[in-house]
Amino acid sequence: METHVEVPQQPAPVLRHIGPALYEIDTGFRADMRVPARIVADEELLRQMSRDRSLIQLVNVTTLPGIHGFAIGMPDMHEGYGFPVGGVAGTLLPDGVISPGGIGFDINCGVRLLTTGLLHEEVKGLLPALAHELARSIPTGYGRHGRLALSPDELDRVLDEGVPYLVRGLGLGSEEDLSFIEAGGHLPGADAAQVTVRARERGHDQLGTLGGGNHFIELQRVERIDDAALASTLGLFEGQLTLLIHTGSRGLGHQVCTDYVRQMDRALAREGIRLVDRQLACAPFSSQEGREYYAAMCAAANFAWSNRQVLTHRVREVFRRMLGPRAEAWPRVLYDVAHNIAKVETYGGRQLCVHRKGATRAFGPGSPELPAAYRDIGQPVFIPGSMGTASFVLVGRSQSADISFSSACHGAGRQLSRAAAKRQVVGAELRKELQARGIHVECPSNAELAEEAPSAYKDVDRVVDAVATAGIAWKVARLVPLAVLKG
């Protein structure tokens, strides 16, 4: 469970408009700031951010040892554990710090978009049955276990090798899948030996499970194409049936974060690090704690990509049973991106540890890390809204490197806490409202449904417009929900 540290009341920061949809809090705001804090937003989004501690948390991030350039908040930014959700920061290697709070408890929570060659109209009558069959085949909710129980040796291989082991060792997918997953579904810095016994116990049978909270699988329709040429390269067309998977590393990743927050907290005095908020617990990347956490984080990231791969396999099984062996009914991976992760990347000739917490990588055209099929257009970026609103596909622009360390937002962003949403929303009534709008819901708990009500989130169209206006990414397509599967 996350705990929050009480900090003294601080004056509201002064924001300076420095570019389209881009604001800055300069280092004069507080004496301990090492770099400025930037925010991608419009005036309404800034007002929403001012209602919680996210702006002050972003300022706190600027005090971390080794931070380089600026800390930046995305337009979906809201208060989190230490770092705000929607926060990005790069620290200069080798001795800049790495902070588990800057990645989050759900390591490599991320989004995978699957596309089909089907028009929504072709299968409209089957959608409730299709959603129900997905719900029967995929475990949802907290603490649920999957059908794929791994031996200790198999779990080690998943942690060390990621999705390539599932594809080549267990036959769960194809080589084509690997081409369209960030990092090929495998971070080479992983070391299963740095993942504790408790973390392994929590994760050994959770591959292929969705989890609870804001995790979901959503059947969608491409409602609008914003850029025909980009959409064509990505294989998107109007009226298309697609499916979005949003989940992460489950209990294993949560335990990795918990374990290393404690270790780094104990190491602060030895490293001479003083923090304005203990939730920013960190260690130099080059230290023993830093190296071990990075290796464990990479392993948890490999586990999360593997989780989404097993879920993809289950989806394909359902589609094959329900829609037959037609090629156009086979869900293919458009792309898979992490939005809670730290990556070693180079900017301005300097190697940085880039923390993205609730933020998506958004490389522009030409990056060698992108699939060959997308290298000329930039990296696909997925921004889900809520189960009653739209999701967006964008592609990164080259100038995002200078604006935001090649980062975009990861969703609409909460404007109500889960507790506040449950006080304001009756889950049973929300279910009826969504059904009346033609959105089929598979969620056993009305309380869980209320926590994730559309009213709990910011306006996703406004959030996406801020990303596009700032020059971080191009809009490609707008997708709307048809059926939602939640824990």
Strand duo 473-486 + 440-442: pairing: parallel
Q: Is the pLDDT of residue 65 over 50?
A: yes
pTM above 0.75, yes or no: yes
How far apart CA 192 and CA 300 sit, in angstroms, is 9
How far apart CA 240 and CA 222 sit, in angstroms, is 5
Q: Is the pLDDT of residue 148 over 90?
A: no
What integer pLDDT is reported at residue 410 of this predicted model?
96
With cut-offs at 50, 70 and 90, classify the pLDDT of residue 9.
low
What integer pLDDT is reported at residue 417 of this predicted model?
85
With cut-offs at 50, 70 and 90, classify the pLDDT of residue 1.
very low
Mean pLDDT, residues 424-453 taken together: 88
Strand duo 216-225 + 473-486: pairing: antiparallel
Q: Is the pLDDT of residue 300 over 90?
A: yes
Q: Where are the domains of the chain?
A: 16-415+457-486
Residues taking part in catalysis: 410
Query: Measuring CA to CA, which residue among 12, 28, 48 is closest to residue 466?
Result: 48
Render pLDDT for 302-314 as a digit per residue (tens, 0 to 9). Answer: 999 999 999 999 9
Q: Is the pLDDT of residue 364 over 50?
A: yes
What CATH class does 16-415+457-486 carry?
alpha beta
Mean pLDDT, residues 319-329 taken together: 95
Render pLDDT for 166-224 as a digit per residue (tens, 0 to 9). Answer: 999 999 999 999 999 999 999 999 999 999 999 999 999 999 999 988 899 999 999 99
What integer pLDDT is reported at residue 212 of this predicted model?
87
**Residue given tokens 């710090």 in the structure block:** 97
Q: Is the pLDDT of residue 231 over 80?
A: yes
Query: Measuring CA to CA, which residue among 403, 402, 409, 415 is closest to residue 359?
Result: 409
H or E segment to which residue 184 belongs: none
90 DSSP β-pair partners: 68, 354
479 DSSP β-pair partners: 222, 391
Average pLDDT value for the chain = 94
With cut-offs at 50, 70 and 90, classify the pLDDT of residue 375.
very high
**Residue given tokens 């392993």 in the structure block:** 299
Q: Is the pLDDT of residue 69 over 80?
A: yes
With cut-offs at 50, 70 and 90, classify the pLDDT of residue 3.
very low
What integer pLDDT is reported at residue 303 of this predicted model?
98
Question: ∠339-86-29 over CA atoms, to 5°?
Answer: 145
Q: Is the pLDDT of residue 6 over 50?
A: no
